[in-house]
């Protein structure tokens, strides 16, 4: 039995404030293995280590994960300010061209939180540096205290366009999600369809119009409890199906399960 390969974009950070690592949360691998039914592979998000062409040859699809550093505003034509937070230029350097290449070739990806923002920026869109500072917006950031369960608890509704892609996928027009982000879409990029919004008008679900493959992205974190939560399970299941379809066409090699 073989499983298609989903590359999980890793994040750079310092372990014990000293040792540089590239890593991904276990919940991302759990979501890929359990809810997608695919093989998770963690990718070092640095163009010094990997190329877009190599990644697309090895992986059948990509999970564009969340991460604490933000996309650098120079990537969408704005100057850096303190409000933009911290950055990871190496991740910008590999993921943004990867998104554009996948859109072009039809190779599936699922964007989550920072990944959602990367999809918009890759297609020419811009970002607000801090959503909670906008009039009428709620605080979408992770609660500073509490257990992981409390941080990832469902906190607001997302309403999808009636009859749209996400409505059809979920079987519901309104779903309940968690929220753990500071930035968000200001202007959508070319072909970006904003298909779902939080109660305060913040864009929460997008896809690339006319793309030949799966290009869905969400601003929340569906990887949390992905195998059991009905909203997360529907999203990752559809992503897994798209990856299997891509692999079945012989576009990329699948790893043989041991």
Task: Write out pLDDT tens, residues 20-56.
Answer: 999 899 999 999 999 999 999 999 999 999 999 999 9
CATH of the domain at 100: 3.40.50.880
Predicted local distance difference test score (pLDDT) of residue 250: 81
Based on the residue annotation, tell me whether 82 is a catalytic residue of this protein.
no
Q: What ranges make up the beta strands (E) of 44-142?
A: 61-64, 109-112, 127-128
Q: Which residue has the tokens 């969408």?
A: 76
Domain containing residue 200: 2-256
Structure tokens at 162: 């009636």
Number of domains in the chain: 1
pLDDT, tens only, 49-77: 999 999 999 999 999 999 989 999 999 99
Based on the residue annotation, tell me whether 223 is a catalytic residue of this protein.
yes
Give 38's DSSP letter: S
CB within 8 A of 134, min separation 6: which ones? Answer: 128
Ranges of the chain whose pLDDT falls below 50: 253-258
pLDDT, tens only, 145-157: 889 999 999 999 9
Active-site residue, from 75, 118, 130, 223: 223
Active-site residue, from 113, 128, 140, 181: 113
Based on the residue annotation, tell me whether 221 is a catalytic residue of this protein.
yes
């Amino acid at each position: 039995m073989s499983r298609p390969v989903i590359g999980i974009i890793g994040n750079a950070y310092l372990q014990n404030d000293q040792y540089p690592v590239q890593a991904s949360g276990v919940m991302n691998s759990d979501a890929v293995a359990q809810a997608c039914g695919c093989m998770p592979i963690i990718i070092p998000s640095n163009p010094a280590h990997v190329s877009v062409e190599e990644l697309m040859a090895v992986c059948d699809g990509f999970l564009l994960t969340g991460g604490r550093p933000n996309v650098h505003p120079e990537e969408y034509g704005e100057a850096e300010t303190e409000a933009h937070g911290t950055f990871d230029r190496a991740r910008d350097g590999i993921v943004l061209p990867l998104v554009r290449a996948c859109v072009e070739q039809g190779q599936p990806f699922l964007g989550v939180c920072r990944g959602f923002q990367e999809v918009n920026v890759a297609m020419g869109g811009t970002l607000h540096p801090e959503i909670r500072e906008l009039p009428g917006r709620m605080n979408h950031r992770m609660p500073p205290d509490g257990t992981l369960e409390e941080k990832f608890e469902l906190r607001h509704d997302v309403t999808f366009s009636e009859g749209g892609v996400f409505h059809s996928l979920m079987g519901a027009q309104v779903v309940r999600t968690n929220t753990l982000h500071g930035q968000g879409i200001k202007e959508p990029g070319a072909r970006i369809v904003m298909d779902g919004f939080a109660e305060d008008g913040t864009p929460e679900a997008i896809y690339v119009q006319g793309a030949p493959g799966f290009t869905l992205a969400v601003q929340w974190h569906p990887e949390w409890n992905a195998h059991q939560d009905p909203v997360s399970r529907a999203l990752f299941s559809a992503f897994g199906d798209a990856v299997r379809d891509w692999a079945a066409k012989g576009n990329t090699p699948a790893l043989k399960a041991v």
